Amino acid sequence: MVGLICLVASQPIQAQCTAKNEAFKSGEHVMYDLYFNWKFIWKKVGLASLTTNATTYHSQPAYRFNLLSVGSKQTDFFFRMRDTLTCYVSEKLEPLYFRKAAEEGKRHTVDEAWFSYSDGVSHVKQRRTWHEPLREPQEMEYSDSRCIFDMLSILAQARSYDSKDYKIGEKILFPMATGRKVEEQTLIYRGKENIKANNDTTYRCLVFSFVEYKKGKEKEVITFFVSDDKNHLPIRLDMYLNFGSAKAYLKSVRGNRYPMTSIVAK
């Protein structure tokens, strides 16, 4: 579900890190079913939840986002997955803090990022720690004249952007902190498509591709299908992994700020 968070940037990312929240409210709760392709068979392997709540960070009003991904007991036999992502943003959606605790197979890591701002420059301090007690933490610092995002704060801002003027094939570029380093990310707007979710509802969606470039060739990593309404909710994710492919389908949503006007059939 890490890909869930890179999605939906609907206009080029500017140096200004503040934005007006136009898409969500405190109390929003979204559930997803996770599937993996096993020898040409799509099998349900777990659940994911994304929650949004008003809170405080260093005594200032803020939003907290939590993304939890949990594999089922059946799939634990093959591959254990317990991922928890948390981020704080200001009321103006500035990234403040990010944490990812990941238990994936035998690997158990915690990635953290702290964001600060001065003289029009964004700064981030990052640290990765391992479950192994003798392994030293990995730390780094980075600054950029552009706003630096993490996996969840980019979602918080991008959901409020207006995609009306977007052209098919247009690219969105932004730097993202992963907990170990800052990477340049690329999203490509593909157009619109009707997508059926796991709640027996079909939605009109905006389609985005998260891509990588290796040796000059473009490689699709994740395809995002996002509701074409003011909520800009992720409806489906198609993930192309090194060891197979996976999908995440919207199962339920409550506490959404606006009616789901992207629904085309129920």
In whole angstroms, give the CA distance from residue 193 to residue 55. 36
119-123, 146-150, 155-159, 189-193, range with the lowest pLDDT: 155-159
pLDDT digits (tens, 9 = 90+) for 179-218: 888 988 888 999 999 999 999 999 999 999 888 887 888 8
- pTM (two decimals): 0.85
Residue spans per domain, the chain: 2-265
pLDDT digits (tens, 9 = 90+) for 103-141: 766 778 899 999 999 998 999 999 999 988 788 999 999
Q: DSSP H helical segments within the chain, as ranges?
A: 73-76, 153-158
Burial category of 198 from C-beta neighbours within 10 Å (exposed 0-12, middle 13-18, buried 19 and up): middle
pLDDT digits (tens, 9 = 90+) for 212-238: 887 888 888 889 899 999 999 999 988
pLDDT over 50 at 160, yes or no = yes
Q: Average pLDDT for residues 20-47, to the nearest whole number?
A: 89
Can you tell me whether residue 4 is helix, strand or coil? helix
Q: Which helix (H) or strand (E) holds 149?
A: none
In whole angstroms, give the CA distance from residue 163 to residue 144. 26
* Whether the Cβ atoms of residue 96 and residue 152 lie closer than 8 Å to each other: no
- What per-residue confidence (pLDDT) applies to 239? 84
66-70, 72-76, 205-209, range with the lowest pLDDT: 72-76
DSSP state of 2: G
6-10, 27-31, 33-37, 248-252, range with the lowest pLDDT: 6-10
- Give me the phi and psi of 177, to 5 degrees please: -85, 130
- What per-residue confidence (pLDDT) applies to 105? 64
Within 8 A by CB and 6+ apart from 169, the residues are 188, 189, 190
* Whether the Cβ atoms of residue 30 and residue 253 lie closer than 8 Å to each other: yes
